[in-house]
Structure 1
Amino acid sequence: MTDTTGFDWRSFLLRWSEEWADSLADGETRSQDDEAARQARWLGFPAASQERITAMEERLGRRMPASYREFLAVSDGWRHAGGFVWLLAGTEDARWHNDASGLGEMFEEYLDEDAGPEERREADLWRRGLQLDAESDATYVLMDPEDVGEDGEWAVYTWASWRAEPPERHANFLEFMRDMHREFHSLRANRRDGEPAFANATTRELDALMDEARLEALRGDWERAAKGLDEAKAYGRPRAAGLGDQLRRLLGQTYMVYFDGLVTDPRYAPELLPPLVAEHAAHSYRDDSTLPFHLRGADDDLMALAYATLEQVRNGTYRYTAAGPFGEAVDAARELARWGDTDGAWRTLLRALPLWEPLGPDHLAPLAWVADPLLGPLLTPERGRELLSTPRGGQSGEAPGVSAGLDPGGMAWLAEPDPGNNRTSYRFVLVEGVEPEELPGRLADADGAALNAPMTFWEARRASLRDRREFSSYDDRALMAVGRAGTGWSFAFDGDPAPFAGQRFVSPAVAASAGTRAVVVWSGLRTGHREPYFHLSVARDGAEEYAFTYVGGEIQKAGEIPGPLDPSRFFGAWQGASDAERALLEAVAGEFGASLPRHAIVNGRLHTFASRSWTRPPRDGEAYMVIRVGG
């Protein structure tokens, strides 16, 4: 709540008047009265006496709030309150609106039966509000006697039809006038050729505030920096939006983030263009007509760089690079993320962040990495705050504590419902002592032994189906994402398997275990409309050691199963699918010391390949269906 008592109205209004007068070129005033105000360097009027204020209150039947009374005692009205209210009412012109505009009736027509109290109060504002706009560009200013703060101040609402937005609320008359002063500044900040330079005490104070905010941001005090930059942005100071957008982007606030005033500067374009075009690519659906608008002022070379970067982002080939030791950490982090260790990748970046070097004084943090297909998924709002809280760019400060990773470890997270509740079944292979890039050679046919570029699972799924022309009911080749499964293990994971094949299923554990050990898990305990099932098989040196399959309430076993994995421990006293699934996954993780990286599998991009079929070929007399699409 703003303290409106004791505010120095005269100094505030004098400064505003002088800034307005100095901002005008000769002949720019709208009227003779405006020209007289420019010559006098005063936008106001003579002060209202206490008698005039009292007479106004008797006429209106209400005592006015303190901030408006104190204003009138300095100036009985005001010219050019912002850019669209040309004359603000004084004691003679203030009047109850009484829906003279008919807007109350219009707003009520838009209310439905579910409208809440705030919406109904907004519609009724036009009948009860005190109108303060005397002359304007279709802009209304109403002070609401029923929206009263603890200090007795009335809220002020502004509305213009051409803005197509709900009425904007200002806490009191003082805040309204401050907002109009900001609006005046923001409209005058970008000067055209031939106009007087817009420099005054307020702009100098704001530019000093921005300079300090830049240093605060680099020291890790991003919250204080954001407040200073937001204040400067409200006044339209050049580069304030571009500076603040750097903080907002790392906090996950991508809407209306354009790095205005900085992205077209060749010094900063390598860092600011990639996140801008990545956001554009995510929402443009190949319509690139808006991109030049957000790059106003860019020369031909910069536009060419923007389109080239956009193509890389869309193709998944954009690669973030940085100079010096931080750049080395970027390369190391990408390699970790490539195989699923997103927590390790994030820690690698963060440890090197104090060594990061900005491209210039208006560069507050590394940003282009968010467009990198492997590094971008590392970012969360919490991690953005952690990055922004870390001193960097040669500045010192208190570093934040290390935050918890996003991966819980183990495998039990697979038993938790995902946000869309879509993951009801999955299967994976663990292979001990081999690197992830070796898995296709163990699990795929010769023609499918190459890894695809890192993609999200659904991107990989679309790509795998794009040129496929034949589908067989006996062919169950899995699209597997690969990575490291903790110390000493690699994984191949399929998050959207075909229905469990029953008697036709052939565990890939045997083929994968040549010279080592392999584990296969296939879970469908939460499939809903089908019988729940769970399979575990373990092989060593090309031979199966043990296995069990639970399906239809029955357990089939083979070999000597270790006690911790004995299926009777989980299915003997059935407690529900999710309980059994969690317990089984915890037992598997404990037995083999392996884990699956949740964040990489669910949100990241991993290499994929198509495995050989998980079902045996059809036997004589077994019918199956083949569907061919196209030629």
Structure 2
Amino acid sequence: MTETTTFAWRPFLLTWSGEWVDSLPEDETRDEDASARQARWLGFPPASEERIAAMEERLGRRMPPSYREFLKVTDGWRHAGGFVWLLAGTRGADWHDDASGLGESFEEYLDEDAGPEERREVDIWRRGLQLDVESDATYVLMDPEDVDEDGEWAVYTWASWRAEPPERHANFLEFMRDMHREFHSLRAHGGDGEPVFVNDTTREQDARVAEARLETLGGGWERAVAALDDARSYGRPRAAGLGDQIRRLLGKTSMVYYEDLVTDPRYASDLLPPLVAEHAANSYGDDSTLKFHLRGADDDLVTLAYATLDQVRSGTYRYAPGGAFGEAVERARETARWGDTDGAWRTLRDAVPLWEPLGPDHLAPLGWVADPVLGPLLTPERGRELLSTPRGGQAGEVPDPTPDLDPGGLAWLAEPERGDNRRSYRFVLVEGVEPRELPGRLADGGSGLDEPMTLWEARSSSLRGKREFSSYDDEALVAVGRAGDGWSFAYDGAPAPFNRQRFVSPAARVGAATRAVVVWSGLGARHGEPFFHLSVARDGTERCAFTYAEGEVRRSGEIPETLDPDRFFGGSEGDAEVERRLLEAVAAEFGVHLPRHAIRGGRLHSFTTRSWTRPPGNGEGYMVIQMNAGAPLPADGEPAGDDGPVTE
């Protein structure tokens, strides 16, 4: 036998009835509910087997097991949740037959390729058995075609004022349990003049919340999150805020507001930043909604929220907890800002046992996910690792570390990005020079490093206010970081078109007391002829170079055997495979790598190099494009059309 046929309906309904009565103010009872209050029973007399059989004969269908068992205890029910005032028994239930016209209305918005789920939302109005008799514009229908292996019918509820699709409940028992939860959720946030809502159910749920909190701190978040979600459905205070901390570290941001906790001054320094960062990412300039999630906060906390919002938007927010964990956070940020995101994560992860909660309802460090440098370290796998690590003084088993995200080497550059997007790229590798020193080697005029940004943000920032573009110069906007033991890199992921006649390798201009390597690849680019350039310089003098373009190779100097272009070009391999092998050879020859995670998804310092092209010679022209004020600039950095005069 299944739970739906063995469930103890009467104790459950008696408990519900008593909780309902005890939650009512002295003067709050509808006339039709007076008898229910006096009897402490929201139900009615049980339905006999004969009455149930007569109902089934009238409807032409045998009722599902859980609804039949319910009817044997009470022939109907009052106050099923907060919006169904009377639920049908044997005489009140009837086929809806689209009496509301909602089936026709839903069908108007149905796509031609709608799947079974969307189709069911339409058909339920034509074939469903309607159980709501009196309600606040809320429908309750059982679907005789949505049947499980136990013969249970799914129950669908819908209210126009919720502006959501019909909600599915697996069977009638689950529907009634959900309505009991809804009743609790509404009463838990009662207003002035209402009795304190405390009973055996609330005490049981609060005890489960306390147990789940300790279990989460010990690393057992998977078991705890189910208990917290259940308590949340009952409206228990702080259960939502506790569960949201877990959800955020799993990479879930939708409907995560840290309810009841984010406005507590004890937790604001750690919970406000991720809330504000998500608002900044999705507010589209409307900041009024931020206050909605800060209901109950005092003026000081609201002021702090908007100050944090300014910092997040400007990229200046810094997560700075105290103690030994805070010291590790600083080390992790220093590591991450030069591209070693795997090393930064290891530093952060290893310090988690040292983290101290700000109060009893603080489950894990969260402010770091809003930090512009540390936030990109988070992945769902790493979030699970952090949550599985014992902390806050609790003991538990340490989880296995998650694998590193960066593959090492350079071959990953030959892989397409999202959407099978392949493009040109170029980079400079410099030995014996720190990343912060690269502007002094590769730029004119003492250019310094910009604050860490994504490549897209850096390009957008560099174009802001710029209205003139010239083919005279090819100044590269590069992200910088460490490329291995003793090496630094400057990477440009959206270079200008390659001009072999005017190209000047930056390698020879890096300066003395160092070695420099330049790679520029267009082998995998979607547009234009494939090309590849490699040059190596030492102490400001180019030692060797080769360029593959237009199907031929031009070389100079003594090229190492491992990099000899004859080993790569002229065979039957495709461009992508040739590019991969070339990059593997460069990585092996110089012992270097580029950090994929930091380049594609993180934030790095950047600056603009001197031109990668020589000045035009006698008789060579160049083009200047001047754009009108207000003309849009695309994200890829190229001017949108020729909205201004062209000068040669």
368-377 vs 615-624, greater mean Cα deviation: 615-624
Aligned AA for 2:247? R
What residue is the counterpart of 2:475 in the other structure?
477
Name the CA distance, whole Å, in 1 between partners of 2:554 and 2:535. 11
Name the CA distance, whole Å, in 2 between partners of 1:112 and 1:303. 44
Superposition deviation, residue 629 in structure 1:
5.2
Name the CA distance, whole Å, in 2 between partners of 1:534 and 1:558. 14
Which residue among 555, 558, 563 is the counterpart of 1:557? 555
* Kept in 1: contact 2:439–2:446 (CA 8 A): no
Name the CA distance, whole Å, in 2 between partners of 1:120 and 1:285. 34
Superposition deviation, residue 190 in structure 1:
0.5
Name the CA distance, whole Å, in 1 between partners of 2:466 and 2:558. 41
Superposition deviation, residue 630 in structure 1:
6.9
What residue is the counterpart of 2:72 in the other structure?
73
Instruction: Give the TM-score normalised by structure 1.
Output: 0.97
Aligned AA for 2:290? L
2:634 paired with 1:624: no
Name the CA distance, whole Å, in 2 between partners of 1:145 and 1:529. 57
Aligned AA for 1:78? W
Once the two structures are superposed, what CA deviation does each residue of 1:82-129 show, in whole Å capped at 9, x if it has no partner?
011101111121222222222223233333432333333332222222
155-164 vs 404-413, greater mean Cα deviation: 155-164
Q: How is 1:503-518 mapped onto 2 (pairs within 5 angstroms)? A: 503-518=501-516
- Among all aligned residue pairs of Structure 1 and Structure 2, give the percentage whose two residues are the same amino acid: 76
Superposition deviation, residue 131 in structure 1:
1.4
Superposition deviation, residue 54 in structure 1:
2.0
33-42 vs 245-254, greater mean Cα deviation: 33-42
What residue is the counterpart of 2:586 in the other structure?
588
What residue is the counterpart of 1:120 in the other structure?
119
2:26 paired with 1:26: yes
Name the CA distance, whole Å, in 2 between partners of 1:359 and 1:470. 52
Aligned AA for 1:85? V
10-19 vs 48-57, greater mean Cα deviation: 48-57
What residue is the counterpart of 2:42 in the other structure?
43
What residue is the counterpart of 2:360 in the other structure?
361
What residue is the counterpart of 1:542 in the other structure?
540
Name the SS for the 1:454 alignment partner: strand
What residue is the counterpart of 1:149 in the other structure?
148
Aligned AA for 1:556? R
Name the CA distance, whole Å, in 1 between partners of 2:343 and 2:2. 46
Superposition deviation, residue 536 in structure 1:
0.3
What residue is the counterpart of 2:635 in the other structure?
none
Once the two structures are superposed, what CA deviation does each residue of 1:227-260 show, in whole Å capped at 9, x if it has no partner?
0110011111111111111011111110111111
Aligned AA for 2:457? E
Aligned AA for 2:66? S
Is the alpha carbon distance of 1:447 and 1:466 closer, same or farther for their aligned partners in structure 2, counting shifts above 3 Å? farther
Superposition deviation, residue 309 in structure 1:
0.3
Once the two structures are superposed, what CA deviation does each residue of 1:123-157 show, in whole Å capped at 9, x if it has no partner?
22222222111111111111122211111111111
* Kept in 1: contact 2:440–2:446 (CA 8 A): no
Q: How is 1:168-567 mapped onto 2 (pairs within 5 angstroms)? A: 168-448=167-447, 450-567=448-565
Aligned AA for 1:188? R
Name the SS for the 2:501 alignment partner: helix
Superposition deviation, residue 469 in structure 1:
4.5
Name the CA distance, whole Å, in 2 between partners of 1:224 and 1:163. 31
Name the CA distance, whole Å, in 2 between partners of 1:109 and 1:442. 65
Name the SS for the 1:387 alignment partner: helix
Is the alpha carbon distance of 1:164 and 1:560 closer, same or farther for their aligned partners in structure 2, counting shifts above 3 Å? same
Name the CA distance, whole Å, in 2 between partners of 1:279 and 1:148. 40
What residue is the counterpart of 1:11 in the other structure?
11
Name the SS for the 1:353 alignment partner: helix
Aligned AA for 1:338? R
Name the CA distance, whole Å, in 1 between partners of 2:225 and 2:611. 55
Name the CA distance, whole Å, in 2 between partners of 1:105 and 1:612. 66
Name the SS for the 2:266 alignment partner: coil
Aligned AA for 1:153? E
What residue is the counterpart of 1:110 in the other structure?
109
* Kept in 2: contact 1:423–1:495 (CA 8 A): no
Once the two structures are superposed, what CA deviation does each residue of 1:50-79 show, in whole Å capped at 9, x if it has no partner?
222222222222221221111111111100
Name the CA distance, whole Å, in 2 between partners of 1:574 and 1:558. 25
Superposition deviation, residue 503 in structure 1:
1.5
Structure 1: tracts of 5 or more residues without a match:
none
Name the SS for the 1:73 alignment partner: helix
Once the two structures are superposed, what CA deviation does each residue of 1:375-396 show, in whole Å capped at 9, x if it has no partner?
0010111111111111111111
Aligned AA for 1:601? I
Is the alpha carbon distance of 1:14 and 1:601 closer, same or farther for their aligned partners in structure 2, counting shifts above 3 Å? same
Aligned AA for 1:542? G
Aligned AA for 1:22? D
Name the SS for the 1:211 alignment partner: helix
Name the SS for the 2:363 alignment partner: coil
In angstroms, what is the RMSD of aligned CA positions?
1.5
Aligned AA for 2:492? D
* Kept in 2: contact 1:431–1:513 (CA 8 A): no
45-54 vs 454-463, greater mean Cα deviation: 45-54
Name the CA distance, whole Å, in 1 between partners of 2:619 and 2:357. 70
Name the CA distance, whole Å, in 2 between partners of 1:473 and 1:415. 28
Name the CA distance, whole Å, in 1 between partners of 2:107 and 2:617. 73
* Kept in 1: contact 2:212–2:225 (CA 8 A): yes
What residue is the counterpart of 1:93 in the other structure?
92
Is the alpha carbon distance of 1:2 and 1:387 closer, same or farther for their aligned partners in structure 2, counting shifts above 3 Å? farther
Q: How is 1:45-60 mapped onto 2 (pairs within 5 angstroms)? A: 45-60=44-59
Aligned AA for 1:205? E
Name the CA distance, whole Å, in 1 between partners of 2:465 and 2:444. 18
Once the two structures are superposed, what CA deviation does each residue of 1:464-510 show, in whole Å capped at 9, x if it has no partner?
12243543212011111100001111000011001112111111111
Aligned AA for 1:8? A
Name the CA distance, whole Å, in 2 between partners of 1:606 and 1:117. 47
Name the CA distance, whole Å, in 2 between partners of 1:442 and 1:522. 19
Structure 2: tracts of 5 or more residues without a match:
630-648
Name the SS for the 1:539 alignment partner: strand
Q: Aligned pair count?
A: 629
Aligned AA for 2:53? T
Name the CA distance, whole Å, in 1 between partners of 2:463 and 2:90. 74
Once the two structures are superposed, what CA deviation does each residue of 1:425-466 show, in whole Å capped at 9, x if it has no partner?
011000111110111111000242x11111111111111122
Superposition deviation, residue 268 in structure 1:
0.4
129-138 vs 478-487, greater mean Cα deviation: 129-138
Superposition deviation, residue 598 in structure 1:
0.3
* Kept in 2: contact 1:338–1:606 (CA 8 A): yes
